[in-house]
Chains A and B, each alone.
Chain A
Amino acid sequence: MIRFDHVSCAYEKGRTVLRDLSFSLEKGEAVGLVGANGAGKSTLMKALLGLMPYEGEITVDGLKVEERNLREIRRKLGFVLQNSDNQMFMPTVAEDMLFGPLNYGMKREEAEKTVDEVLLSLGITELKGRHNHRISGGEKRMAAIATVLAMKPEVLLMDEPSSALDPWNRRMVIRTINALPVTRLIASHDLDLILDTCGRVLLLSGGRLAADGPAEEILTDRALLEKHRLELPLRFGGENPR
């Protein structure tokens, strides 16, 4: 579904963020992207979405990530940003959810039906007519996910989906992610969330792929995690500062 072939990215000369990355994601897989701050997780997502130039080759469903394919590729990829405030720009939740489908040519009646279905599946129908600047952080995060799901993406990309969420909303997000029948790539520092949602983990360090394997295996390897400035998930005895 997604293939990175010797991909490198640099913001400016001498500041390389991704270095010679190669991996692939199969259809339906749920993959966690972990790494310390500055490891290149967000850059990898941006490159995949065609938001920044790269060297090497990235393909989505056989389409190379380049200008002429971007519309088709972005239709397949749904990206949930870390900051929901930047994702929700329309006045109401419903209008925000309609934005993507209508831009991609879906008929209004069909788009409105999809919006209702998505809201129902996420259990947030009460948010439909609410104004974006009047909903809580947790509600906004769920609504942001809904705006992306309304586009019926084949791949869901999420950047820190649990940031700024209380435990109840975090649990809701985990349930939502697990219930989605699509390919998922989730970047997060919340290693417990990665364990709950992903079967496979890519560990980035200094822009390189330091490890790629089953989540249970990588996220229980204390030596590997500490070598790359990470810690065991809390459930496996991750460091408690107290």
Chain B
Amino acid sequence: MASIERAALEIREMDDLAALDSPIHALHPLAKLLTTMVYLLTVVSFGKYDLSGLFPMVLYPALLFSLSGISVKTCFYKLRMVLPLLLAVGVFNPLLDRAPLVRLGGVALSGGVISFLTFTLKGLFCLSASFLLAATTSLDSLAAALRKLRLPKMPVTLLLLSFRYVSVMMEELAAMTTAYRLRAPGQKGIRWNAWGSFLGQLLLRSMDRAEELYASMRLRGFQGDFPYAEGRPLSGRDLAYFLLVTLGLLAFRIWNVSRLLGGLLL
């Protein structure tokens, strides 16, 4: 299968993951969305040298991975294009901040190394949590949850249509690339002088298709709201999940659990 077709299929596979059956999938999208937002805010609120305080935040994605049945491998595979960027964010910190901050055994670790690790972990945790939200909740349900939070119709609809448009564009790109390759044997990729018309055609074709897709939505009553994706109302279980996780995260933020445990053991 061509790499573009594989990429298009990968986007659709997020729908497959969201359709799995697990205790996390069964939670109300609004509860999951709010919990994820609290988690992201808590993670980014840790200071750049607070590596030990940040570390217990791994428990939330770990819990979700184990309960949702989605493997860590799937997550890292889907995020493989973004992960290198995480490293790039703090890669120069060890060079810029060389003052020793902590000693680990006989090794002195500089502030730059600690902040680099903190940034990387923060990014990893945030990406994992966002991925888990998207992989356990359909995009339409998420859009419905955003509307419940009183977000305006326009940006929510744009988010939804962008997702659909990316799939459509990838499909068109796959079809056009195949057509090109069949008439250009022996060529590696697409010649530079064909890129202009190729991209123009791709844009026009995918816009035509996206327009028809949107017309199809409007013809079936879509007006920017998501009654079809709302499902059941919030239950006591959803509220309990949100409150328990939020309290746990706040506790991790207020008390340095790593240090407390370390103090008990040493």
A74 / chain B contacts, CB cutoff of 8 Å: 218-221
**Inter-subunit contact B221/A75 (CB<8 Å):** yes
Interface mask (B204-224 → A, CB under 8 Å = 1, otherwise 0): 000001001101111111110
A133's partner among B12, B213, B219, B223 (CB-CB below 8 A) is: B12
B18 / chain A contacts, CB cutoff of 8 Å: 91
**Inter-subunit contact B228/A105 (CB<8 Å):** no
Interface mask (A137-173 → B, CB under 8 Å = 1, otherwise 0): 0000000000110010000000000000000000000
Taking the closest CB of chain A, its distance from the CB of B53, in whole angstroms, is 39
* Residue among B215, B223, B225 facing the most chain A CB atoms (10 A cut-off): B215
Q: Is B238 in contact with chain A by the CB < 8 A criterion?
A: no
Q: Is A229 in contact with chain B by the CB < 8 A criterion?
A: no
* Bound form: Cα–Cα A49–B218 in Å: 10
**Inter-subunit contact B218/A99 (CB<8 Å):** no
Residues B3-50 near A (CB distance < 8 A): 9, 12, 15-16, 18-19
Taking the closest CB of chain A, its distance from the CB of B124, in whole angstroms, is 28
Residues A28-72 near B (CB distance < 8 A): 49, 51, 71
**Inter-subunit contact B221/A87 (CB<8 Å):** no
B19 / chain A contacts, CB cutoff of 8 Å: 91-92, 131
Taking the closest CB of chain B, its distance from the CB of A164, in whole angstroms, is 14
**Inter-subunit contact B222/A103 (CB<8 Å):** yes
Interface mask (B125-154 → A, CB under 8 Å = 1, otherwise 0): 000000000000010100000000000000
A95's partner among B209, B212, B228 (CB-CB below 8 A) is: B228
Number of residue pairs spanning A and B whose beta carbons lie under 8 angstroms apart: 71
**Inter-subunit contact A102/B212 (CB<8 Å):** no
A89's partner among B217, B223, B225, B227 (CB-CB below 8 A) is: B217
Nearest residue, chain A, Cβ from B138:
A91
**Inter-subunit contact B213/A86 (CB<8 Å):** yes
A131 / chain B contacts, CB cutoff of 8 Å: 12, 15-16, 19
B215 / chain A contacts, CB cutoff of 8 Å: 49, 51
Interface mask (B46-61 → A, CB under 8 Å = 1, otherwise 0): 0000000000000000
Q: Is B164 in contact with chain A by the CB < 8 A criterion?
A: yes
Interface mask (A81-114 → B, CB under 8 Å = 1, otherwise 0): 1010111011110010011101111001000000
Taking the closest CB of chain A, its distance from the CB of B222, in whole angstroms, is 6
The 5 closest A-B pairs by CB, nearest first: A103-B221, A100-B220, A91-B15, A102-B228, A86-B212
A to B CB contacts below 8 Å, 21 in the list = A49-B215, A51-B215, A51-B219, A74-B218, A85-B171, A86-B216, A89-B164, A90-B140, A91-B19, A91-B138, A92-B15, A92-B19, A95-B138, A98-B228, A100-B220, A100-B221, A102-B228, A131-B16, A133-B9, A133-B15, A148-B220
Q: Footprint of A on B, CB under 8 Å?
A: 9, 12, 15-16, 18-19, 138, 140, 164, 171, 209, 212-213, 215-223, 225, 227-228, 231
A-B contacts besides A74-B221, A99-B220, 19 pairs, CB < 8 Å: A51-B215, A71-B221, A74-B218, A83-B209, A83-B212, A86-B216, A87-B216, A89-B217, A99-B222, A100-B220, A100-B221, A102-B227, A103-B221, A103-B222, A104-B221, A131-B15, A133-B9, A148-B220, A151-B220
